[in-house]
Amino acid sequence: MIIKHADDRTGDIEALAALLERRDLTQAQRQAIQSDLWKHKAGAAGERSVAFEIDERLRDAKNYMVIHDLRVVHGEDTAQIDHLIVNRFCQVFVLETKSIKNGLRWNAQGEFETTVRFGGRFQKVGIPSPLHQNARHCRVLKRLFHDKVVDITSISTAFLQPDVRGLVVVPNHVHVDRRVPLQGAELVMKAEAIWDKILKDGEVGFLRFLGGTVSAASLEAFARALAARHTPLERDLLRRYGLTPVPQEAARGDAQARPQEQGMARPTTSQTAPTSCDSCGVGIPTRVVAYCQAHAARFAGKTLCRTCQGKAATP
């Protein structure tokens, strides 16, 4: 059963694309935004690919609960989990997705790397260990259960407690180079292998099952309580890249003059951008403000929420 689908990333992608239209960006700012935009697009595509494999198997299953895109905060710790699956043995599978176009490999020291194309040439680049990343997410979940922040009374017995297990998953088209032996490498797999891994661990879980039972209703209640802890991340994009808001009048004039002034930089300003919709008054995230500023001519210079954008867009 699907308890939670992934959050819509369209707004983040649109906001980053809109920032790239600003002509006051330094080269470093532009490169940082372009890099984040690529990561957002690649990450979203990879997560959709893995989610498809999971949903195809477990959409109608009553003994498996699925949560996509779960961000939980416990004290000073945060876990950003791409996919989470809970089975009737109360095994909690935490899936870290890596969408890496040119393959994934590691060395004997456990350092991960891939290949990227830069300046017309391919070169190796190091990436954070997905095994370590996911282990950190698992530790946060374990503390969450240990401190009973999530209600586990419906499934908890003297012999049966949530058993958190981490997996690193790549889309089926990604090549995984396994020539170098590495402890934990068996936890790195393609999306098509997830089901076999869960079934195999479920056989071990049967021994746990002897210590207690988990009904479908209790399992669903537990999963929904966990999904309710989801805390979406609000990004201040302007602050992240060291940018200042563009005033509405300047943004409108800039959009209208763009064909004649292509390539000319416009100075930044310290004027504060509005944080509520000019039409309905609802609060607006920074990414939506940035999008309106970049398309000022389309919206007649107004800062609008996504709903009002569709109603009041100016041709």
Q: What is the pTM of this model?
A: 0.73
Express as a percent the part of the chain with pLDDT over 70: 80
On the question of pLDDT at 221 being above 80, the answer is yes
More confidently predicted of 215 and 120: 215
Residue 183's CB: how many other CB atoms inside 10 A?
A: 8
Comparing C-alpha atoms, which of 72, 77, 188, 198 is closest to residue 131? 188
pLDDT of residue 270: 35
Residue 184: per-residue pLDDT: 92
Which residue did the predictor score with more confidence, 257 or 296?
296
57 exposed, middle or buried (CB, 10 Å; 0-12, 13-18, 19+)? middle
Maximum pairwise Cα distance, the chain = 75
pLDDT in tens, 151-173: 776 666 555 678 899 999 998 88
d(CA 76, CA 79) in angstroms, rounded, equals 10
Q: Using the 8-state DSSP alphabet, how is residue 168 labeled?
A: E
Task: From 307, 314, 303, 212, select the one nearest 18 (Cα to Cα).
Answer: 303
Q: For residues 190 and 197, give the distance between their C-alpha atoms in angstroms, rounded to a whole number.
A: 11
| Residue 86: predicted pLDDT | 92
Mean pLDDT to the nearest integer, 99-109: 86
Q: Which two tokens stand for residue 50?
A: 């893995």
Cα→Cα distances 107→170, 178, 185, 311, Å: 18, 9, 11, 54
Per-residue pLDDT reduced to its tens digit, 254-281: 544 444 444 444 433 333 444 677 876 6
